[in-house]
Amino acid sequence: MNHLLFPPRRAHVRACSAAETAALFLVRVAIDAAREQLDRYALLTDDPLPGIVEAADLIDTARQRMTP
């Protein structure tokens, strides 16, 4: 059933255009910046809120999905 939630990755059939590459780069920068902010928050608190932990998990999942 896990394959329904996370379908298998398929090889890229075409190269990305310059605009697509730039957009993916900006998304990756945003993901890394959000993760950095969550890491800083986690270091400042002893017990982060559950929503912060969930957000960190979602950011990690998004980053993994972008990695070829």
Which two three-digit tokens encode residue 23?
């957009």
Which two three-digit tokens encode residue 33?
């910046």
The pLDDT of residue 7 is: 55
pTM of the predicted model as reported, rounded to 2 decimal places: 0.65
pLDDT tens string 1-35: 445 555 556 555 567 788 888 888 899 999 999 99
Q: Where are the domains of the chain?
A: 32-68
Q: Examine the pLDDT at 67 and tell me if it is beyond 80.
A: no
List, as one string, the DSSP characters of 8-29. Answer: PP---SSPPPHHHHHHHHHHHH
pLDDT tens string 41-65: 888 888 888 888 899 899 999 988 8
